[in-house]
Chains A and B, each alone.
Chain A
Amino acid sequence: MVQYNFKKITVVPNGKDLIDIILSRTQRQTPTVVHKGYAISRLRQFYMRKVKYTQQNFHEKLSAIIDEFPRLDDIHPFYGDLLHVLYNKDHYKLALGQVNTARNLISKIAKDYVKLLKYGDSLYRCKSLKVAALGRMCTVIKRISPSLAYLEQIRQHMARLPSIDPNTRTILICGYPNVGKSSFINKITRADVDVQPYAFTTKSLFVGHTDYKYLRYQVIDTPGILDRPFEDRNIIEMCSITALAHLRAAILFFLDISGSCGYSIAQQAALFHSIKSLFMNKPLIVVCNKTDLQPLEGISEEDMKLVMEMKAEAMKTVMGQGGEPANEEAVLVTMSTLTEDGVIAVKNAACERLLDQRVEIKMKSKKINDCLNRFHVAMPKPRDQKERPPCIPQAVLEARAKEAAEKERRKTEKDLENENGGAGVYSASLKKHYILANDEWKEDIMPEILDGHNVADFIDPDILLRLEELEREEGLRQAEEEDDDFEMDGEELNAEEKEALAEIRKKKSLLIQQHRIKKSTAESRSIMPRKFDKNKEFTSERMGRQLTALGLDPSLAINRARSRSLSRKGRKRERSSDNHGDAMDVDMDTPSKKLRARSRSLSLSRSRSRSRPPSEVTPGDGFKDSAQKVKAIKIAKKSVKKRNKDARKGEADRVIPSLKPKHLFSGKRSIGKTQRR
């Protein structure tokens, strides 16, 4: 049933929009590239596909429209009539029919052109056929565009119709314009209907919901009806008439006693009688509204008579169950929506009447028997008059009583906590319920760790025994030890020998060091011949010292060394060709006096050892200047040192020059997130 789904109808596009949509979809979803060099079958296929695709899409869209719009014959007659009243059934059907025709036409066009395309012999011909096909389809749509626009308007209006369920409990409010129908519905439901002093404020049906005896009732507010012949009624009135005609509802006919709506009671009564045929088989209540302006008793005689006539009519609609006196009250009621006097009474009366009627009908129908069969409470038939109450053993009763008493009396941990200062102050003693051999031990704190051992690992009930065993063993062992505690002292080196040994070891380590230095730089360093002994390492004093250390007498050796030394013999270059004389006086005729003086001073001062400063460059060295030599010495020393690979923090790591370097704490990243700074 499409009762509530008027809201779910898809939007009907404009004619032009529809064409645009379909054509652009064809362009996008079908292949677009084609060359005239392709095989003819491929060309034909290409264009046939386009034509078929367009036709399919049109078919889909138009079918959707046709299917989703409700068929007036298939829906509830109330809706059918309502739609007819609002939109004119014929017009509606015509529009849908046109859409249907358009759909068929498009299918035919497509079929024809596909047949033609099968025999297209060139790209150009196929293309023109396709263009023609699509063009014709679009023309068809263009022709039905007014229908589409109409259907769109209908759809929009339908979506806004109130959702009335024709089968549920309904209360219908009708009457002349301005009598107070909308005020009434505002009072009993949450509906917010416009209430204004002019007539026809309410132009369409409004629905509210109200509850009575745990059931939900629909309350429908209708626009006012004027007393006119049926044919002259306008659409708005026809809405109310439709509702009246098709909905099985309780009807509240509103009467304005005071006449402030602009119509007299006579006119209203006339209306009543003209539409009373619509009240057949529906519980009717005549409601006299606006009693605050004019109480019911105070109206004139003729008016009273008219009212009584209406009441009589209403009585006829009452189901013939129960005595009339009981129902008299429920047929003619007075109220005032302004003072809210009697409003609830009216609602209750209407609901009650409706409910009774519906229940009656249900009871009479066949379906009720199925329902009744399902309700059955089985009661065992008593076989005799003996009373058999439930039997509860005494112990259980006592236990129950005790428990109840205990619950009142028992003090919970929570109470204790609250007494002692609340949650933050009091910390419960978890050891309270410990089961120990001696209750004094409950609050003991046992150490878990002692001297790097876990105490729990040592705990053992028979630890004492084992300890005794251990101590016994220990005692035995100590006794044994004392027996053979003689460490053979044996021989030992005396002091001198020790000294000699130490000396030997020192010398050995020195040799090793020297060897290491020699070894590490031997390949990269040229070995200078000893005659260029720049540091004056190899002196006779040194020789003398070493020999003495070994215990020999060096004097002979020194003398011999000295006698053979170069300074005595004289330098080669200083010898002139004539002078073969004494080495001592050979220097007399040397070219430069300085040199002679220096060489003499040199020879005389031979005994004093002299070492040059390490940065001084001697001729045979190979260095440019002392700076270079100093650098070379430094590098040589460094190369022997073994590199520290500990990667430990050093002097340079103590200082953090800037605690928040800007490049780490600002700026965006070119890639990635900047969540961590």
Chain B
Amino acid sequence: MRLEKCWFCSSTIYPGHGIQFVRNDAKIFRFCRSKCHKNFKMKRNPRKVKWTKAYRRLHGKDMTQDLTFEFERKRNRPERYDRNLAETTLKAIKKITKVRVEREAKHHALRMKGKKAKDHKEAVKELEQSIHLVKAPAVFQQDPTLTLPKMQVKVSQKQSEENNAMEE
């Protein structure tokens, strides 16, 4: 029993799931669910479909080359069973997975690194440009901070109640 990879989205296909398509040139396409199968039938290129692993790898969203990927490779010659080797392999798998996950997280963090600064810059700009939507220019001249105007309690009772009601 083997866990296969979906040809379209590269997720693992567990036994009992998905469809296998064998083309006339004997190439086998495995799909994890009908979504991938239907996309394939529509002749969509997985490299252009945003949610697939192929796209993500190609566009640098996910880690591409790493030592941890080298461990998992399909070997066509079966090895003779060795209990010690099996034990070590099982333990190793866990460690490798951990390392890989950490590295992927690192990669993601690296990718997202400049985001905070950028967001801040954008926020400041927006504030500056659109402060007139919430603060009248006259008020802004008097109080040039980029905050909401201070409420004046001078208005009549009724109005002060209705002040907090939702506008529109």
Contact = CB atoms under 8 A, between A and B. Distances in A.
A550 interface: yes
Contact of B86 (A459, A481, A505): A459
Given A436-B80, A510-B168, 10 more contacts: A441-B81, A448-B1, A455-B86, A458-B96, A497-B127, A504-B126, A505-B126, A551-B136, A551-B139, A553-B152
A88 B109 CA distance: 121
B78 interface: yes
Contacts of B81: 434, 436, 441, 444, 446
A437 B82 contact: yes
Closest 6 CB pairs of A and B: A551-B149, A551-B139, A496-B147, A550-B136, A441-B83, A552-B136
B25 interface: no
Interface of B: 1-3, 12, 67-68, 70-75, 78-83, 85-86, 88-90, 92-97, 99, 102, 106, 113, 116-117, 120, 123-124, 126-127, 130-131, 133-136, 138-139, 143, 145-152, 154-155, 158-159, 162-163, 165, 167-168
A499 B148 contact: yes
Contacts of B117: 488, 490
B120 to A, nearest CB: 6
Contact of A451 (B94, B120, B124, B162): B94
A460 B80 CA distance: 11
B52 to A, nearest CB: 18
Contacts of B88: 463-464
B155 A451 contact: no
Contacts of B75: 456-457, 459-460
Contact of A500 (B1, B94, B146): B146
Contact of A457 (B73, B90, B158, B167): B73
16 contacts: A436-B80, A447-B90, A452-B12, A455-B90, A458-B93, A460-B75, A467-B96, A471-B95, A481-B106, A493-B123, A500-B134, A501-B127, A503-B133, A504-B133, A507-B133, A545-B165
Contact of A546 (B94, B145, B167): B167
Nearest to A455: B89
A467 B67 CA distance: 10
A351 to B, nearest CB: 71
A572 to B, nearest CB: 30
Given A447-B90, A541-B159, A549-B167, A459 B85 contact: yes
Interface in A457-515: 457-461, 463-464, 466-467, 469-471, 473-474, 481, 487-488, 490-493, 496-497, 499-501, 503-505, 507-508, 510, 514
A446 B73 CA distance: 19
Contacts of A451: 93-94, 97
A318 B69 CA distance: 106
A510 B139 CA distance: 23
A140 to B, nearest CB: 71
Contacts of A454: 2-3, 72
A461 B81 CA distance: 11
A508 B130 contact: yes
B136 A459 contact: no
A342 interface: no
A225 B159 CA distance: 150
Nearest to B146: A497
A550 B134 contact: yes
B137 to A, nearest CB: 9
Contacts of B95: 467, 470-471
Contacts of B151: 548
A459 to B, nearest CB: 5
B160 to A, nearest CB: 9
Contacts of B71: 458, 460, 463, 466, 470
Given A453-B72, A496-B148, A548-B155, A467 B90 contact: no
Nearest to A609: B162
Interface in A513-548: 514, 541-542, 544-548
A454 B80 CA distance: 16
A32 B12 CA distance: 78
A500 B72 contact: no
Contact of A470 (B85, B89, B96): B96
Given A441-B81, A461-B79, A545 B134 contact: no
B83 A470 contact: no
A202 B86 CA distance: 94
A449 interface: yes
Interface string A409-430: 0000000000000000000000
A438 interface: yes
Contacts of A552: 136, 138-139
A492 B72 contact: no
Contacts of A457: 72-75
A452 B135 CA distance: 56
A438 B84 CA distance: 11
A544 B72 contact: no
Contact of A449 (B1, B150, B155): B1
A499 B147 contact: yes
B79 A459 contact: yes
Given A446-B86, A497-B147, A545-B167, A453 B93 contact: yes
Contacts of A547: 136
A402 B85 CA distance: 42
Contacts of A434: 81
